[in-house]
Amino acid sequence: MAPPERLSGVLAPVITPFRRDLSADPERLIAHCRWLLSQDVGLAVFGTNSEANSLSIPEKIELLDRLVEAGIDPRRMMPGTGCCALTDSVTLTKHAVSRGCGGVLMLPPFYYKGVRDEGLYRNYAEIIERVGSSALRIYLYHIPPVSQVGISVELVERLTGAYPDTIAGIKDSSGDWNNTRELIERGGKDFRVFCGSETFLLRTLRAGGAGCISATANVNPAAIRRLFDDWQGPGAESQQEELDEFRGCLQMPTMIPALKAVVAGFLDDPQWEVLRPPLVPLDEERKSALVRTLRERGFSMDRYGG
Amino acid sequence: MAPPERLSGVLAPVITPFRRDLSADPERLIAHCRWLLSQDVGLAVFGTNSEANSLSIPEKIELLDRLVEAGIDPRRMMPGTGCCALTDSVTLTKHAVSRGCGGVLMLPPFYYKGVRDEGLYRNYAEIIERVGSSALRIYLYHIPPVSQVGISVELVERLTGAYPDTIAGIKDSSGDWNNTRELIERGGKDFRVFCGSETFLLRTLRAGGAGCISATANVNPAAIRRLFDDWQGPGAESQQEELDEFRGCLQMPTMIPALKAVVAGFLDDPQWEVLRPPLVPLDEERKSALVRTLRERGFSMDRYGG
């Protein structure tokens, strides 16, 4: 099998549905992934917004298997496989490669703080050597506001220098446009830079970036994809403004409960509100206000489930 | 089997030895635990200084089994069992209880930042309900400099109110003496408060606390234990000063490489220097300087291995 093509476009860090007993719900996840693909949005399953770090390794392996067995194209998938423990990262990454995933999105180990680039380099190098597959494509995951352990541009250069085929790109969720621009400029021709919010999508594409991987793509996929397709057209600026306005409605200390409230509200499926601790659902008042606001803007989740 | 007695005294967050291939080394861990017990220091295996978050759940289960099967008394153990994923915390905690551990030291889920006390409460409550054992004794683990997610005094009160038999105490690694004092004052009569550094040991004991769980107890166990035994005696202040001086020699951005360098140097066993990424060993110069400094102070690791 040929190694996967490098990814670009718009991907959603797919939110993970839970049953009332907090177990993961593969059927609802499959339906959500099918809908996202129908909107031409790729699947960054097991990202931050997927509550991935609230799932065990066996749970993630089981969910990935269920998705692939349901016929979801693994080449459109970029599962998160970076864990605190090297051995966990290897297990999960190996599994993703064996299922034919287009790439993996890899957090640095995030428990120990203030670690040196040398230690992070060794972590990634060791994973790459142990997985030992020419089909492995790693997208580094830089999200210092959450992980508190970041990936410097110097570390990116060292990794792409040592593993030019494997290190395929980065998701930059720093929220710092200067950092994203620097990654695009210094990452090299084939290095795929995704911004972590569609707020930066137009700027990212104009600077030569690959697209975005954004939480809101879980509920607003078509509009974000449209900007990706039309970014050189005359309406790009106003499309970007509309995306920013939509995102503004969801902006909260953490966006995950808001995303789930929107899906639950617009699909009329309250089970989608369930989150695993330490996250908790929005209270009734905020949830109703959010759904009402979006309805007033004419928002809907088109063609869901068909 | 009667539920375990609540713990007190001095415990070491036991450093985890690795082989050159980065696999965990149960034989060296058993030897180190035996030595610590011979110095009357308990075993907080799988703590921060154990590189516990660089170990997978199966690796931790295997190591715990090997320790118990080697005859190490599980009632002297307080393994760390708090993970990012609720399901992992349940798996590991259940296993610790099934092996008869005296308690568990439980981090809050630490990936998602800015979470509410309500979410942390639900995490602990769900674990307690799922483990469902009257033999479970939880010591909460408050270490905001590393986890970035803390355990407030209000959360402690809510948890001890709901689960007075199960929530047995806390390790306070905030480095904030006022917080430790408040925990002792407000935690209730049987609530066991351990400071996270022997620097606070005398103050903790004078205020009614239970002891300390400290990294340096891995190399300096007897002297720390001596202060615990003699804290009401005339030499307590000077003992505390000596402990502080010793600790000062090891103080670095992260103490784990220094602890391993000391053990490797004084046991003449270089394999002990191995760390898992993202941590890296001290360079030769710093390592030699550290060992030399301690030798000049007359330090040795007495009766190790017998």
Give the C-alpha separation, B15 to B20, whole Å. 16
**B189 or A258, which is more confident:** A258
Instruction: Write the CB contacts of A306 (distance below 8 Å, at least 6 apart in sequence).
Output: none
**B269 and A111 in contact (C-beta within 8 Å)?**
no
Distance of CA A181 to the CA centre of its chain: 19
Q: Which residue from B110, B115, B118 is facing A111, i.e. has the nearest CB?
A: B110
DSSP state of A15: P
Asked if A278 and B253 come within 8 Å (Cβ–Cβ), the reply is: no
Give the three-state DSSP class for B47. coil
Chain A residue nearest residue B119, CA to CA: A278
pLDDT number for residue A303: 75
For A176-234, the pLDDT digits (tens) are 999 999 999 999 889 999 999 999 999 999 999 999 999 999 999 999 999 999 999 99
A99 to chain B, closest Cα gap in Å:
22
DSSP state of A224: H
pLDDT number for residue A1: 67
Chain B residue nearest residue A54, CA to CA: B85
Position of tokens 């005296």? Answer: B102
Asked if A87 and B55 come within 8 Å (Cβ–Cβ), the reply is: yes
Chain A residue nearest residue B130, CA to CA: A21
A119 to chain B, closest Cα gap in Å:
4
Asked if B115 and A53 come within 8 Å (Cβ–Cβ), the reply is: no
Asked if A278 and B149 come within 8 Å (Cβ–Cβ), the reply is: yes
pLDDT number for residue B2: 79
Q: Which residue from A114, A146, A280 is facing B111, i.e. has the nearest CB?
A: A146
Position of tokens 């503004």? Answer: A248
Regarding beta strands A9-12 and A211-213, do their DSSP bridges make them parallel or antiparallel, or are they unpaired?
parallel
Give the C-alpha separation, B99 to B181, whole Å. 33
Asked if A277 and B88 come within 8 Å (Cβ–Cβ), the reply is: no
Most A CBs within 10 A among B23, B111, B129, B254, hence the mutation to make, goes to B111
Give the C-alpha separation, B61 to A231, whole Å. 52
Position of tokens 């550094």? Answer: B197
Is the pLDDT reported for residue A252 higher than 80?
no
Is the pLDDT reported for residue A306 higher than 60?
no
Give the three-state DSSP class for A81. coil
Is the pLDDT reported for residue A299 higher than 60?
yes
Q: Report the half-sphere exposure of B291 (CA within 13 A, side-chain side).
A: 19
Q: φ, ψ for residue A6 (rounded to 5)?
A: -65, 145
Asked if B53 and A84 come within 8 Å (Cβ–Cβ), the reply is: yes
**A209 and A217 in contact (C-beta within 8 Å)?**
no
Give the C-alpha separation, B33 to A148, whole Å. 32
Domain A9-231, what architecture?
Answer: Alpha-Beta Barrel (3.20)
Chain B residues near residue A84 by CB distance under 8 angstroms: 53-54, 84
Chain B residues near residue A55 by CB distance under 8 angstroms: 85, 87
Show the tokens assigned to A163: 């593993």
Q: φ, ψ for residue A276 (rounded to 5)?
A: -85, 145
Helix ranges restricted to H, chain B: 26-38, 57-69, 86-98, 117-131, 144-147, 153-162, 177-186, 201-206, 221-230, 236-250, 256-267, 284-296
Q: For every one of its 306 residues, what pLDDT tens digit does chain B have, with 9 covering 90 and above?
A: 678 899 999 999 999 999 999 999 999 999 999 999 999 999 999 999 999 999 999 999 999 999 999 999 999 999 999 999 999 999 999 999 999 999 999 999 999 999 999 999 999 999 999 999 999 999 999 999 999 999 999 999 999 999 999 999 999 999 999 999 999 999 988 999 999 999 999 999 999 999 999 999 999 999 999 999 999 999 999 999 999 999 999 987 779 999 999 999 999 999 999 999 999 999 999 999 999 999 999 998 877 865
For A70-105, the pLDDT digits (tens) are 999 999 999 999 999 999 999 999 999 999 999 999
Chain A residue nearest residue B122, CA to CA: A277
Q: Would you list which residues of chain A are within 8 Å, Cβ to Cβ, of chain B?
A: 22, 48, 53-57, 59, 84-88, 91, 108-116, 118-120, 122-123, 126, 145-149, 253-254, 276-280
B276 to chain A, closest Cα gap in Å:
8
CATH of domain B9-221: 3.20.20.70
At A295, the pLDDT band (50, 70, 90 cuts) reads very high
Chain A residues near residue B109 by CB distance under 8 angstroms: 53-54, 277-278
β partners of residue B150: none
